[in-house]
Amino acid sequence: MARFTSMEQLRFLLFDVHRVEDLFGYERFAHLDAEQAWMMIEAARMLAEQEMFPYFKAMDETPARYDGKGGVKTHPQLQTIIRKAADQGWIGGYASFEHGGMQLPEMIFSTGHHLFQAANNGVEGYTGLSSGSAGLILNFGSAEQIETYVPKIFSGEWQGTMALTEPQAGSSLSDIVSSALPTNYGYYQIKGQKIFISGGQHEACDNFIHLTLARIEGAPAGTKGISLFIIPKFRPKQDGSLEYNDVYCAGDFQKMGQRGYATTHLSFGDNDDCRGYLVGEPHKGLSYMFQMMNGARISVGQSAAAVAMAAYQASLQYAMERPQGRPSGEKDPAKPPTLIINHADVQRMLLTQKAIVEGALSLGMECNRLHDLTHVTSGEEKENHHLLLEILTPIVKTYSSEQGSRSAALAIQTLGGYGFTTDFPVQQHYRDLKIMSLYEGTTGIQSLDLLGRKVTMNNGKALQLLGAKIMETISGALAYPSLQSCAGELGIELKRIASVVQHLFQFAQKGEIDRYLSDATVFMEMAGYIVIGWQWLKQAETAARKLVEKDFKANSESFYQSKIHTMEFFFRYELPHAAACEKTLLQDGNLTGIRNMDMFT
């Protein structure tokens, strides 16, 4: 069986670096222990290995495809996958016992999903969307809505989706025009078009529950007039039977990757008989949706890291089996060829992948932990966890997707010409990964969110908290001689963020918002390197402690040594690019605030 992730790394992140067991001290998670948690992860691994990974290639080669009459053909295995994942609790397991859940911490729930993402990232999307949309109903829906929809979504019988994007609006949600006309019967009459709706129609579920943004007649313009509706494809009647709700799948999108994952165009109310059920209060839809959206953004980052992990593992396996060439300096052609993993450049490509993938996974786990802590703490503590999570969300999404693509390119490169052929999975990983920097907000959108909202929110408190957290890790690492040099460097790198923010603030203060934000993406790139440097120092500190304590029960001595080595690699090969970004950000002129379009001729 091909290896698509590292269970050792998951255990290390979960138990050693980010200490999931801390959570078991809180009442919500008190029913869990480490052994039980790991058994769940192992069950997810088996499910991924047996039911998902073997179909990874087939689902790419027989893509989800519109049938011309409202249906989308999907791979027959999809139903098995969704139902078995649901049975193990990977759709609703995060929910409270009262709602049929297992009260799993996000740290565990996400680790299960990591296995699915690494094995077959497209199909994981179906379960992840159901999970998130049910969560939205649980949080903001009425008791009746919860009762009607959540159990069916949790069981995998019904598919949940999120329906935001419209053809004319794209990323600009304030331009949404789908309309909701109030009636006297407790529902709204919906009309509108939505595109890029993942999982919006397929063959594995009986019903589709679209969590949809629309504008109630007479609502204010812009984002303050958007409401959230539940719009089922088939609406449940009083007697429990279903009737068609005038939700028509009008087409699909064929894509360069994630081809097994149906991307649909939905048309609501073509026959004026589409009913939408308001969730929560009118005009608050966008803030509700953003709860799901924030989770989805973290999840996309984690999915990107998982796909890059699968590509890394495939290239590592190839490098350990493929003999080719001789060590440099060896001139005797009669000598047998060496395995390519012995070539320095192959090692560089593997280490770069490892540094990116494991760094990104660690940041994802940090976010999961913060998510869990916001659910079990209160007051200022809760607020601090929340702020940290807010500032890390766009970073984990962007670093993982952008650098994950680069990582998968190196996986292809490790295989040479074979990597470009469909005989190996790495090219599929590379194609699949490209969506990650696009959906749930492009890299440009994430970067505006980071610099324009998260850095400035609460008078910069989120950024201060992040700086304090990083300093805490630096202080801890200074106790280990093997980490002192890198710990010192991270302190220097951290200062770049402050100096750049200070430099840019002068423009914001003068009201030059355009200038303040124009290089937000470069700021994001810089922040990504530094935050991942922090995660590497954190992993290395844990490893150094294990080495000092000679505690090799969970993982081997060389496993821990490799963490310190990979951290050094990250600091020497990747982190120096943060200074290059800083140089760009501190420049005098503004080269991207162009008013004359002839500058592109």
Lay out the site mask for a second copy across 281-320 (x = CB under 8 A, - = otherwise): -----------------------------------x---x
Cβ neighbours of residue 86 closer than 8 Å, sequence gap 6 or more? 92, 127, 154, 155, 156
Q: Show contacts with a second copy in window 528-547 (CB under 8 A).
A: none
Binding positions for a second copy, 181-240, rule CB under 8 A: 196, 221-223
511 scored as a contact of a second copy (CB under 8 A): yes
Q: 392-409 in b/e burial notation, b at 16+ Cβ within 10 A?
A: bbbbbbbbbbbbbbebbb
Look up residue 568 and give its two tokens: 């050094």
One-letter amino acid at 141 equals G
Judged by CB under 8 A, the stretch of 147-155, 181-189, 332-340, 382-390 that binds a second copy is 332-340
> CB under 8 A: which stretch of 126-134, 151-159, 269-277, 346-354 binds a second copy?
346-354
Interface of this chain with a second copy, residues 557 to 576, rule: CB under 8 A: 558-559, 561-562, 565-566, 568-569, 572-573, 576
* 166 included as an active-site residue: no
Can residue 379 be called a binding residue for a second copy (CB under 8 A)?
Answer: no
Positions 444 through 473 that interact with a second copy (CB under 8 A): 444, 447-448, 452
DSSP 263-280: EEEEEE-TTS--EEEE-S
- Give the contact letters, 6-45, x = binds to a second copy (CB under 8 A), - = no: x-x-------------------------------------
- Is there binding between residue 522 and a second copy (CB under 8 A)? yes
Whole-Å CA distances, 203 to 236, 262, 347, 374 = 19, 10, 44, 37
Rounded to whole angstroms, the Cα distance separating 200 from 159 reads 8
* Residue 81, H or E segment: helix 77-87
- Given the residues 166, 366, 440, 574, select the one marked as catalytic: 440
Which lies closer to a second copy via its Cβ, residue 372 or residue 582?
582
Query: 113-132: which residues touch a second copy (CB under 8 A)?
Result: none
Question: What sign does the dihedral 259-110-128-289 (CA atoms) show?
Answer: negative
Closest alpha carbon to 233 in 211, 210, 253, 250 = 210
Comparing CB distances to a second copy, the nearer of 142 and 347 is: 347
Among residues 31 and 572, whose Cβ is nearest to a second copy?
572
Query: Do 9 and 312 touch, CB atoms closer than 8 A?
Result: no
The yes or no reply on residue 341 touching a second copy (CB under 8 A) is yes
265: β partners: 251
Helix (H, G, I), strand (E, B) or coil at 278: strand
Subset of residues 386 to 445 that bind a second copy, contact rule: CB under 8 A: 405, 409, 412-413, 416-417, 419-423, 427-428, 430-431, 434-435, 437-439, 442-444
Site size toward a second copy (CB under 8 A) is: 108
Adjacent-strand bridge partners of 251: 265
Please identify which residue in 350, 373, 490, 526 interacts with a second copy, judged by CB under 8 A: 350
Can you name the residues that pair with 210 across neighbouring β-strands?
A: 161, 231
DSSP lists the bridge partners of residue 235 as 243
Report the catalytic residues.
440
